[in-house]
Amino acid sequence: MEYRYMGKANVKVSTICLGTMHFGGRTDEKEAFRIMDRAVEIGINFFDTANVYGGAGRTEEIIGRWFQQGGGRRDRVVLATKVYGQMVREEPVPPNEERGLSLYKVKKHVEGSLRRLQTDHIDLYQVHHIDRHISPEEFWTIFDTLVTDGKVLYTGTSNFPGWGLAKFQMAAEKRGSLGIVSEQAQYNLLSRYPELEVIPAAQEFGIGIMVYMPLAGGLLTGKTKREPGSRTQAVADEYGIGARMDDLLREFSQLCRDLGEPEHVVALAWTLATPGVYSAIVGARTAEHLDGLERASELQLPNEVVQRLNDLFHIRYSRPLKAGPAPEAFAW
């Protein structure tokens, strides 16, 4: 397993990050424990979760119980979670519990995450989506205080546009604080829009990129069938996969066969070859889904292969933009 610095933070994480979104839903607790044990065994030291995963904290609770098995599990993991989403299920939703950020809300939500995760600190605390209403002053009052109190070590973002990274990072610089060290963006051969502004902005401000959906929900794993109602079919519908894209995926599979490498290994290696990307999240549903990830971490694609992939999946064949400004145009 290869390791890289987490943006400008002087901490190293595995280039493959374990995604836990399925824990408590499609993956039961017993299998989740197997997945986490296997991940640590193959050298993955970076876990990503969110307070909303599994249904209002269920995933964080599973990770917390895994930590409590002992054996130095917590100390072997750089732990990332997120805040922004709605955590209450009552209707109507209380006005200060809707999606978004505030000092009032985050103070409660960070305590909830710490309790569920059964830990005294979060290594990387990420804002799950940009909130246009919060001021930079309140934003950094929140996260600088959490760092000072020792509850959070580093601040990260997710689904931010380039302008959002610039806005909040410049405010952090004025305060003399470390600021954002990581941006989590949806990026893969079929979703290239972060190349336009997000990745360049991140590089300009010393923010590392961690990628979610590097396999496009399974589309880049060589699957030839997409079952109705499956995660892969849902992503295919969102990406607008038609006849032309199916042809591209077949060409991609042939290229991988020519290389003698599985599709998921090549897709991950291409993502990790992008300047500024330090880790790619793989959301395993079973322990077997981790097979081959060491190869993806270590594989150095020849420049000509990277160019062939770039030519094949040109940005004009990327997922269609939705109506509205960034980041809503390319993020949830």
DSSP state of 208: E
Write the CA distances from 100 to 110, 124, 195, integer angstroms: 14, 18, 26
Per the structure block, which two tokens stand in for 235? 């992503």
DSSP string, 237-300: HHHT--HHHHHHHHHHHHHHHHHT--HHHHHHHHHHTSTTEEEEEEE-SSGGGGTTHHHHHH--
At a CB cut-off of 8 Å and minimum separation 6, what does 71 contact?
Answer: none
Helices and strands of the chain, counted as H and E runs:
12, 10
> Could you confirm whether 5 is annotated as catalytic?
no
Dmax of the chain from CA atoms? 56
Least Cα distance to 192 among 211, 165, 172 occurs for: 211
Please tell me which residue in 3, 53, 104, 317 is annotated as part of the active site.
53
CA dihedral 313, 317, 318, 320 (to 10 degrees): -170
| Residue 285 to residue 100: CA distance in whole angstroms | 29
Q: What is the CB neighbour count within 10 angstroms for residue 261? A: 19
CA 269 to chain centre: 16
**DSSP symbols for 49-103:** --TTHHHHTHHHHHHHHHHTT-TTTGGG-EEEEEE-S-----SSPPGGGSSS--H
Q: Could you tell me if 199 and 276 are in contact, meaning their C-beta atoms sit under 8 angstroms apart?
A: yes
Dihedral of alpha carbons 187, 184, 109, 44, sign: positive
Contacts of 3 (CB under 8 A, 6+ apart): 12, 13, 14, 15, 45
Catalytic residue ranges: 53
